[in-house]
A and B are shown apart, each in its own frame.
Chain A
Amino acid sequence: MRALGILDELARPLILLPVAVVDRILTPIQKHVGIDKMGYFFVLPNLLIFGIFVLFPMLLNFYYAMTGGTKLFPQDRPFVGLENFATLFDCDDFLSPNSCQEDLFWRGISNTIQFVVFQVSGIVLFSLVTALVLNRKIVARGFFRSVFFYPVLLSPVVVALIWKWVLQHEGVLNAIVEIFGGESKRWLLDTNWAMFWVVFVSVWALMGFYTLILLAGLQSIPPELYEASSIDGANHWQDFRFVTMPLLMPTMFVVLVLSLIRAVQMFDHIFVLTGGGPGTRTQLMVQYIYTTGFSNQIQLFGLSAAASMVLGISLLVLTLLQLRLGNQSSLA
Chain B
Amino acid sequence: MMGTERISISQFLSLRSGGARINTADALTYLYLTFGTVLMFGPVLWLVASSFKTQAGLVKYPPPLLPYQQVQVEVEGFDKALPLFTVAMEDGSSRELAQIRRVGIEARMIDPEDPAAGETKVNIRQREPVEEVKLAWENYLDPLVELENFDFVTYLKNSVLVTTVATAITLVINSMAAFALSKYQFKGRDAIFVLFISTLMIPITVILVPVFLVITTIGWKNNLWGVIIPGAATPTGIFLLRQYMLTIPDELLDAARIDGASEWHIYWRIILPLARPALAVLAIFSVMWRWNDFLWPLIVLSQNDLFTLQVGLNAFQGELQIQWHYVLAMTVVTLLPITLVFAFLQRFITTGIATTGMK
Chain A interface residues toward B at CB < 8 A: 15, 18-19, 22-23, 26-27, 30, 35-43, 45-47, 49-50, 52-58, 60-61, 64, 72-74, 129-130, 133, 135-139, 141-142, 144-158, 161-166, 170-172, 174-175, 178, 204, 208-209, 212-213, 215-216, 218-223, 236, 254, 258, 261, 265, 267-268, 271-272, 275, 286, 289-290, 293-294, 301, 304-305, 308-309, 311-312, 315-316, 319
Stretch from B118-126, B142-150, B182-190 contacting the other chain? B182-190
Q: Beyond A73-B217, A170-B63: 15 further Cβ-contacts under 8 Å?
A: A22-B264, A26-B263, A38-B180, A47-B233, A49-B173, A60-B213, A136-B4, A155-B310, A171-B63, A209-B353, A212-B354, A272-B314, A286-B205, A294-B208, A308-B208
Q: Given that A30-B263, A312-B206 are known contacts, is A137 also in contact with B5, CB under 8 Å in the complex? A: yes
- Where chain A touches its partner, the secondary structure class is helix
Lowest 9 A-B CB distances belong to which pairs? A39-B184, A155-B292, A57-B210, A42-B180, A46-B177, A216-B354, A175-B62, A60-B210, A53-B230
Considering the chains assembled together, what is the distance between the CA atoms of A74 and B217 in angstroms?
11
Whether the pair B36, A147 counts as a contact (CB closer than 8 A) is yes
How many A-B residue contacts, CB cutoff 8 Å? 295
Neighbouring A residues of B174 by C-beta, 8 Å: 46
Q: Which residues on the B side are within 8 Å of A135 (C-beta)?
A: 3-4
Could you say which residues of chain A place their CB within 8 Å of the CB of B73?
none
Q: Are B268's CB and A290's CB within 8 A? A: no
Report yes or no: B192 in contact with A47, Cβ–Cβ below 8 A: yes
What would be 20 A-B contacts, judged by CB atoms less than 8 Å apart?
A: A19-B268, A19-B269, A23-B264, A23-B265, A53-B229, A53-B230, A54-B207, A57-B210, A57-B211, A137-B4, A139-B12, A141-B6, A150-B342, A157-B310, A161-B313, A204-B40, A212-B354, A236-B25, A268-B294, A294-B208
Per a CB cutoff under 8 Å, which of B61, B268, B310 touches A18?
A: B268
Counting CB contacts under 8 A, is B44 at the interface? yes
Q: In the assembled complex, which residues on chain A have CB atoms less than 8 Å from the CB atom of B299?
A: 290, 294
B43 located at the interface, meaning its Cβ lies under 8 Å from any Cβ of chain A in the complex: yes
Q: If A39-B180, A290-B295 touch, does A161 touch B7 (CB 8 Å cutoff)?
A: no
Which B residues touch A52, using CB under 8 A? 214
Partner of A40, one of B61, B180, B231: B180
* B1 interfacial contact with A, CB 8 Å: yes
Once bound together, how far apart are the Cα atoms of A147 and B2, in whole Å? Answer: 21
B262-292: CB near A (< 8 Å → 1, else 0) gives: 1111011100000000000000000010011
Minimum CB–CB distance for B32 against chain A, Å: 5
How many angstroms from the CA of A175 to the CA of B267 in the assembled complex? Answer: 60
Most buried by A among B9, B40, B196, B210: B210
- Scan B205-231; emit 1 where CB is below 8 A from any A CB, else 0: 111111111101100000000000111
Are the C-beta atoms of A212 and B353 separated by less than 8 Å? yes
